[in-house]
Amino acid sequence: MKLVKKWFAILSVAAVSILALGGCAEKGPSKIKVGYIRVMDDAQVLAAYEGGYYKKQGLDVELVEFKSGTDLIKAIIAGQVDSGVLGFTNAVAWAAKGADLKVIGGAQHGYHAILVREETGIKDVAGLKGHTLASQAEGSTADTVLRGVVLKNAGLKPEDVTVMGVSPQVAVQSLVGKRVDAAFLFEPQATIAQLTAPVRKIYEIGEVWPFPCMVVITSGDTLKKRKADIWKTLDAQKEAIDLLTNQPADAAKLIASYFVAEPELATLKNGKVPREQVVQDAIKTQTFSAALTDKEQARMQEIAGIMQEQGALKTTDGQPFSVASIVDLSWQKERGVKGHDAH
C-alpha cells in the first residue's frame, strides 16, 4: 500500500508539473503576422523586427513580404496576415465594396520622386508628355496621386503619358535598363537609381503636396479579436519610428540589407559606398509618423475624392466615401501619440 501511495504521489507531482508547463506555454509570445512592402515607407516594420521591438512587446512576429499594396490588402481581408503597412487607398477601395477594414495608425508621408534618364532631355513633369513612365500598380496610392495630382497639376491628362504599373524594384530596373523614360519612385529606390545610373530628379511630390501615403491597416474582425496584440505592434512600430527619426544611422544598420544586397553599392561618381550610408541618406529624406493628424485625414478624404473622380472608387449611394468610416484612432488617443504635418 505504501508503494502504491508513493507512486501516486510521484504521478500527481508529475501531472502538476505538466500542467504548469502547459500554462507557461500559453503565456508565451503571441504569434502575429505583419505584411510589408520592401520600400522605405515600410521601414518602421523592418526596424521594429530587426531591433527586437516586437519581441520587447511580447510578440512573435512573422514578417510577410508583398510586391504591392493590392496583394497585401487582399491578404488582410482573407486573414492571411493580421496587419500591414500600405497605401490607404487600398483600404478605401475595398471598404467601399463591403470589406471590413480599419486604418489604425500612421506610417509615412508620401515622398515619391520622378526620375528621368538624362538623355531624354525631360526637364519637368509637363515634359513627360508622349513618354513612358514606370510607377506602381493601378489603384495604388502612388498611382492615384500620380494621375490625379502630379500629372493634372502639370496640365497633363493620364493618356498623355504611358504609365507602366510595376513593383518599385522593377520600376528601377526599367528606368536603368532604358525600357522607360522616367519612373515615379519610392525611397531608397530613388536614391539608389541616382547613385548608379545617369538619371536625375525633376520632381518630388512630398515637397509640394505632402500626404499620408502609408498607413497601418487591419481588419475590423482582427482588431476586435486581437486588439491587445495589434496595439502592441503599433507600440513597437512607434519605437522604430522614433529610432528612424532621431537615430537614422543606427536604423540604417538594422535595415540596410533589405534594400542593398551587397555591403557596398557601386556608384557612378563616388566609387563604392557602404550600403548603410545609402540607406541612412534615404531615411533622412523621409517623414515617419505613427499618428494621423486632422490635416492628414482631410488629405486622405481629398484623395478618396480623386479616386471617385477617376472611377476607381464607387459607393452604393453615389455619395462621397467617408474616410472617417474606416479610421480607428483609439490607439493613438489612448497612448497620447501626436503626429506632424510637415517634413
Cite the beta strand spans of the chain per DSSP E. 30-37, 59-66, 83-87, 101-109, 113-117, 132-135, 162-165, 182-185, 199-204, 212-219, 264-266, 272-274
Range of the domain at 298: 30-109+211-335
Q: Is residue 86 domain-shared with residue 137, that is, in the same domain?
A: no
Q: Is residue 220 domain-shared with residue 96, that is, in the same domain?
A: yes
> What does the pLDDT look like over 36-63, one tens digit per residue?
999 999 999 999 999 999 999 999 999 9
- How many angstroms separate the Cα of 134 from the Cα of each of 164, 170, 189, 193, 310? 5, 8, 13, 13, 19
- Please report whether residue 2 resides in a domain: no
Q: Is residue 221 domain-shared with residue 301, that is, in the same domain?
A: yes
Q: Is residue 164 domain-shared with residue 42, that is, in the same domain?
A: no
- Residue 214's nearest CA partner among 275, 136, 319 is 136
* Cell numbers standing for residue 243: 529610432
pLDDT band at 340 (very low <50, low <70, confident <90, very high): low
Measure the CA–CA gap between 84 and 88, rounded to whole angstroms. Answer: 11
Measure the CA–CA gap between 333 and 331, rounded to whole angstroms. Answer: 5
| Backbone phi, psi, residue 160, to 5° | -75, -20
pLDDT score at 24? 43
Cis-peptide into 188, omega within 30 deg = yes
Judged on CB neighbours under 10 Å (0-12, 13-18, 19+), 8 is exposed
Q: Is residue 160 domain-shared with residue 201, that is, in the same domain?
A: yes
Q: Do residues 105 and 223 touch, judged by C-beta distance below 8 A? A: no
Question: Which value, in Å, is the radius of gyration of the alpha carbons in the chain?
Answer: 23
pLDDT band at 273 (very low <50, low <70, confident <90, very high): very high
- Please report whether residue 159 resides in a domain: yes
- Please report whether residue 271 resides in a domain: yes
Give residue 114's Cα distance to chain centre.
19
Give residue 161's Cα distance to chain centre.
26
State the average pLDDT over residues 13-32.
56
- Please report whether residue 126 resides in a domain: yes
- Residue 113's nearest CA partner among 175, 5, 221, 185 is 185
pTM exceeding 0.75? yes
Q: Do residues 187 and 139 touch, judged by C-beta distance below 8 A? A: no
CATH number of the domain to which 203 belongs: 3.40.190.10
| DSSP count for the chain of H helices, then E strands | 16, 12
Residue 295 has pLDDT above 60, yes or no: yes
pLDDT band at 147 (very low <50, low <70, confident <90, very high): very high
Per cent of the chain over pLDDT 90 is 77
Least confident segment among 83-87, 113-117, 313-317: 313-317
Strand order in the sheet with 132-135: 162-165, 132-135, 182-185, 113-117, 199-204
Give residue 88's Cα distance to chain centre.
9
| Averaged confidence pLDDT in the chain | 90
pLDDT score at 6? 46
The string of DSSP letters for 103-125 reads EEEEEEE---EEEEEGGG---SG
- Identify the bridge partners of residue 113 per DSSP, sorted by sequence position: 185, 204
- Residue 282's nearest CA partner among 180, 193, 176 is 193
> What does the pLDDT look like over 124-140, one tens digit per residue?
999 999 999 999 888 88
Q: Is residue 190 domain-shared with residue 235, that is, in the same domain?
A: no
Residue 146 has pLDDT above 60, yes or no: yes
pLDDT score at 27? 63
Measure the CA–CA gap between 70 and 294, rounded to whole angstroms. Answer: 26
Which string of b and e fits 190-224 if b means at least 16 CB within 10 Å?
A: bbbbbbbbebbebbebbeeebbbbbbbbbbeebbe
Q: Is residue 120 domain-shared with residue 231, that is, in the same domain?
A: no
| Backbone phi, psi, residue 114, to 5° | -100, 120
pLDDT score at 315? 81
- Number of structural domains (the chain) is 2
pLDDT score at 28? 78
- Please report whether residue 340 resides in a domain: no
- Please report whether residue 154 resides in a domain: yes
pLDDT score at 312? 86
Q: Is residue 245 domain-shared with residue 328, that is, in the same domain?
A: yes
Q: Is residue 104 domain-shared with residue 120, that is, in the same domain?
A: no
State the average pLDDT over residues 251-277.
96
State the average pLDDT over residues 296-325.
90
Q: Is residue 286 domain-shared with residue 146, that is, in the same domain?
A: no
Q: Is residue 204 domain-shared with residue 244, that is, in the same domain?
A: no
pLDDT score at 140? 86
